[in-house]
C-alpha cells in the first residue's frame, strides 16, 4: 500500500524499532533558542555529557531580544541573563549561534528556511511549538519540551510514537484579498484547537499548491493551533526554486540528487489518511479571531457570536468566558471593533512577503491617530531586504514603527507588550488570555488586514478602505 509524505519521512529516520516501544527517530536539524534550552544544557553538564552533533544544531536569540536600541545591553536583567546563558552554553558545547546584531539573527523559524537549512525530507525539532513551520518544505518538523531538547542534544535522536495522518485539502483558488493566514484561521475554526491532536496534517489541493513558500510557512506554522503534531506540504517546483542557491542548500550534483529524492516524497496516489477534511477555497474570506483561542475565529464580515446559539453547555461557557475577557458584545459587527495596537511580525507573518503585503496597503495612507503600529521583521535578513526595497520608508511615512528582528509582541517576553485592557490586531498565532501582556486582548489577522486596521483603527479588510487618489490627480475641491 502507498505511503503518505509524513510516513515516508518518518520511515527514513527510524534508528530503532521494537515491539511495544516508541520508534527511535534520528533528528537531522535541531534549532535552539534562549528560552527552552538553559535547563537542557545544565542537565548535560550535570551528567557530564556532550552535544553529540553540534554540526546539526544551530542557535539564535529571538524570544527575549528588544527590537529597539539593539546595540545597547538588554535592559531587563532577567532577559539579559538568559541570553548570556545561551551564549555561554553555545560556546561551551560548540553550538553555532547567531546572536543579536548578527546579520543572520532572527526568529528561529524564519532563519532556518532563509539559510537553506530547512529542506524537504528532514526531521527538524526545536523547543518551540511553531517548529511546525518548517513542514512547508516537506520536512517533518515538530516542537518539543526542554527534556526532549536535552535528549536530542545528547543523542541526536528522539523516541516518538507514530502519528496519525490527516489530509486537509483546499480545492480551487483563493478569492482575491484572501491570504494564507485567512485560510489557516478558517481551517482551525472548522476543526477546532484539538481537532488535529495526534495527527500530522498534510495540506493539499490547488489552493495550497498555488501558495508561495511564505504562504505555506504561514499555514504550517499554525498547525499546532489546531492541536496537530506537525503540518506538511509536499515539496514541488516552488520549494526547489526557493531553496536553490541558499547558503546551506546542496550544490552541483548534490543538488540534482537531492531534488530527485525530494520528488519521491509526495504522498502516493493509493495512500490513505486516518482523517480527511475538504475545504472549498471559494467559500473563504478575510478571517479574524474574536475569542481567546485560535479556533474562535470568523469571517471579518460577520458579527461577534452569541453564546446562546451554542447547544453544548461546555462550549457555551467557554464562549461566554472568552467574550467577557475580550469585552465584546454578541452581535457586534467585527468590522466595528476598535483597536489601539497593530502588530505585524512573528514566525507566522514576519517574512518579506508579509511585509510587502502590509506595505502595499499602507503605501500612500496614514495610520489612524492613537493606533500604535509595530512592524517587526522576522529576521535581520528580512529587515535588510525590506530596507533595500524601501518598505521601511513606506511604514514610517504612514506613521508605523520600524523595528529590529525578534518574536516581539507575539508573546511579549521583550518590552513590546500590550497593557491591561489594550486591544490589538496581530499577525501572530495566539490570542490566548494575556499572551501579548497581562490583560491584553488579541485579534489574530493577516498582514493586509493588520495594515488596513492600522489605517481605520478598527478591524478592516483592505477592500473596505477608501481608494487612494490616482497619482497626479487634482486634490478634491473643498
Partner 1 sequence: MEAFTIHTGRAVPLRRTDVDTDQIIPSEWLKRVERTGFGAGLFEEWRNQPDFILDRPAYRGATVLIAGENFGTGSSREHAVWALQDFGFRAVISSRFADIFRGNALGNGLLPVQLPAAVVEALQAAAEADPTLEVTVDLGAREVRAEGLPTASFDLDDFTRWRLMEGLDDVGLTLRNEGVITAFEAGRPGRLPTTV
Question: CA torsion angle for 397, 357, 223, 38 (degrees, to 10)?
Answer: -40
How remote is the C-alpha of 294 from its chain's centroid? 13
> What whole-number distance in Å separates Cα of residue 347 and Cα of residue 110?
6
Judged by CB, which is closer to partner 1: 357, or 374?
374
Q: Please check whether residue 411 is in contact with residue 430, taking contact to mean a CB–CB distance below 8 angstroms.
A: yes
Query: CB of residue 41 vs partner 1: minimum separation in angstroms?
Result: 9
Query: CB of residue 302 vs partner 1: minimum separation in angstroms?
Result: 21
- Regarding 301 and contact with partner 1 (CB under 8 A), the answer is no
Near partner 1 by CB under 8 A, which window of 33-41, 343-351, 373-381, 445-453? 33-41
Residues 368-407 that bind partner 1 (CB under 8 A): none
Q: Is the dihedral of CA 3, 26, 221, 319 positive or negative?
A: positive
- Regarding 250 and contact with partner 1 (CB under 8 A), the answer is yes
Please select the residue that binds partner 1; options are 177, 415, 434, 457, rule is CB under 8 A.
434
Near partner 1 by CB under 8 A, which window of 22-30, 165-173, 355-363, 466-474? 22-30
Please select the residue that binds partner 1; options are 50, 75, 81, 469, rule is CB under 8 A.
81
Residues 115-134 that bind partner 1 (CB under 8 A): 116-117, 119, 122, 127-129
Residues 228-247 that bind partner 1 (CB under 8 A): 229
For residue 423, the surrounding DSSP H or E stretch is strand 423-426
C-alpha cell at 292: 481567546
Q: What values do phi and psi take at 239, rounded to 5?
A: -65, -50
Residues 175-204 that bind partner 1 (CB under 8 A): 193-194, 197-198
> What whole-number distance in Å separates Cα of residue 124 and Cα of residue 139?
7
Near partner 1 by CB under 8 A, which window of 253-261, 270-278, 377-385, 449-457? 253-261
Near partner 1 by CB under 8 A, which window of 302-310, 376-384, 390-398, 409-417? 409-417
Query: CB of residue 237 vs partner 1: minimum separation in angstroms?
Result: 20
Judged by CB, which is closer to partner 1: 28, or 214?
28
- Regarding 82 and contact with partner 1 (CB under 8 A), the answer is yes
Query: Which residue do the cell numbers 484579498 mark?
Result: 177
- Regarding 33 and contact with partner 1 (CB under 8 A), the answer is no
Neighbours of 118 (CB within 10 A): 30
Give the burial class of 344: count Cβ atoms within 10 A of its Cβ; 0-12 exposed, 13-18 middle, 19 or more buried: buried
Residues 142-171 that bind partner 1 (CB under 8 A): 143-148, 150-151, 154-157, 159, 161
Q: Helix axis angle, 352-362 relative to 213-221, nearest 10°?
A: 100
Judged by CB, which is closer to partner 1: 159, or 205?
159
Near partner 1 by CB under 8 A, which window of 46-54, 178-186, 233-241, 300-308? 46-54
Alpha-carbon Rg for the chain, nearest whole angstrom, is 22
Which residues fall within 8 angstroms of residue 417, CB to CB, at 6 or more apart? 409, 436, 437, 440
> What whole-number distance in Å separates Cα of residue 275 and Cα of residue 273?
5
Query: CB of residue 67 vs partner 1: minimum separation in angstroms?
Result: 16
Question: CA torsion angle for 99, 100, 101, 103 (degrees, to 10)?
Answer: 50
> What whole-number distance in Å separates Cα of residue 51 and Cα of residue 156?
8
Query: CB of residue 301 vs partner 1: minimum separation in angstroms?
Result: 26
From residue 431, alpha-carbon distances to 109, 220, 350, 426 in Å are 19, 18, 17, 9
- Regarding 29 and contact with partner 1 (CB under 8 A), the answer is yes
Judged by CB, which is closer to partner 1: 333, or 438?
438
Near partner 1 by CB under 8 A, which window of 171-179, 181-189, 251-259, 276-284? 251-259
Amino acid at each position: 500500500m502507498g505511503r503518505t509524505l509524513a510516513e515516508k519521512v518518518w520511515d527514513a529516520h527510524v534508528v530503532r524499532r521494537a515491539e511495544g516501544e516508541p520508534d527511535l527517530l534520528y533528528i537531522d536539524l535541531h534549532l535552539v533558542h534562549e528560552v527552552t534550552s538553559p535547563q537542557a544544557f545544565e542537565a548535560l553538564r550535570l551528567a557530564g555529557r556532550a552535544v553529540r552533533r553540534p554540526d546539526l544544531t544551530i542557535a539564535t536569540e529571538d524570544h527575549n531580544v528588544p527590537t529597539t536600541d539593539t546595540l545597547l545591553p538588554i535592559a531587563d536583567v532577567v532577559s539579559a541573563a538568559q541570553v548570556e546563558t545561551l551564549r555561554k552554553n553555545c560556546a561551551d558545547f560548540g553550538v553555532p549561534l547567531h546572536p543579536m546584531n548578527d546579520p543572520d539573527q532572527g526568529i528561529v523559524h524564519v532563519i532556518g528556511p532563509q539559510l537553506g537549512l530547512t529542506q524537504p525530507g528532514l526531521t527538524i525539532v526545536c523547543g518551540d511549538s511553531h517548529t511546525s513551520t518548517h513542514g512547508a518544505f516537506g520536512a517533518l518538523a515538530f516542537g518539543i519540551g526542554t527534556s526532549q531538547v536535552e535528549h536530542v542534544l545528547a543523542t541526536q535522536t528522539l523516541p516518538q510514537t507514530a502519528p496519525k495522518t490527516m489530509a486537509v485539502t483546499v480545492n480551487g483558488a483563493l478569492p482575491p484579498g484572501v491570504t494564507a493566514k485567512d485560510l489557516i484561521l478558517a481551517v482551525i475554526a472548522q476543526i477546532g484547537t484539538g481537532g488535529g491532536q495526534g495527527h500530522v496534517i498534510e495540506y493539499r489541493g490547488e489552493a495550497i499548491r498555488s501558495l508561495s513558500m511564505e504562504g505555506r510557512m504561514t499555514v504550517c506554522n499554525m498547525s499546532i493551533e489546531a492541536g496537530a503534531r506537525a503540518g506538511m506540504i509536499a515539496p514541488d517546483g516552488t520549494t526547489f526554486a526557493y531553496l536553490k542557491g541558499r547558503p546551506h542548500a546542496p550544490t552541483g550534483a548534490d543538488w540534482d540528487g537531492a531534488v530527485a529524492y525530494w520528488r519521491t516524497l509526495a504522498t502516493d496516489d493509493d495512500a490513505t489518511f486516518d482523517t480527511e477534511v475538504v475545504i472549498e477555497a471559494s467559500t473563504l474570506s478575510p478571517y479574524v479571531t474574536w475569542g481567546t483561542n485560535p479556533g474562535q475565529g470568523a469571517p471579518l464580515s460577520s458579527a461577534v457570536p452569541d453564546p446562546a446559539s451554542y447547544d453544548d453547555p461546555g462550549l457555551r461557557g467557554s464562549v461566554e468566558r472568552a467574550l467577557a475577557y475580550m469585552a465584546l458584545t454578541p452581535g457586534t459587527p467585527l468590522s466595528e471593533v476598535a483597536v489601539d495596537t497593530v502588530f505585524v511580525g512573528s514566525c507566522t507573518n514576519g517574512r518579506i512577503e508579509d511585509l510587502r503585503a502590509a506595505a502595499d496597503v499602507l503605501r500612500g495612507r496614514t495610520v489612524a491617530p492613537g493606533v500604535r503600529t509595530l512592524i517587526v521583521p522576522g529576521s535581520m535578513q528580512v529587515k535588510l531586504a525590506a530596507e533595500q526595497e524601501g518598505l521601511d520608508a513606506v511604514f514610517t511615512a504612514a506613521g508605523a514603527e520600524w523595528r529590529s528582528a525578534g518574536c516581539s509582541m507575539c508573546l511579549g517576553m521583550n518590552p513590546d507588550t500590550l497593557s491591561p485592557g489594550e486591544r490589538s490586531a496581530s499577525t501572530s498565532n495566539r490570542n490566548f488570555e494575556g499572551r501579548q501582556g497581562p490583560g491584553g486582548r488579541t485579534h489574530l489577522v493577516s498582514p493586509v488586514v493588520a495594515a488596513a486596521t492600522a489605517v481605520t483603527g478598527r478591524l478592516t479588510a483592505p477592500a473596505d478602505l477608501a481608494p487612494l487618489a490616482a497619482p497626479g490627480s487634482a486634490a478634491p475641491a473643498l
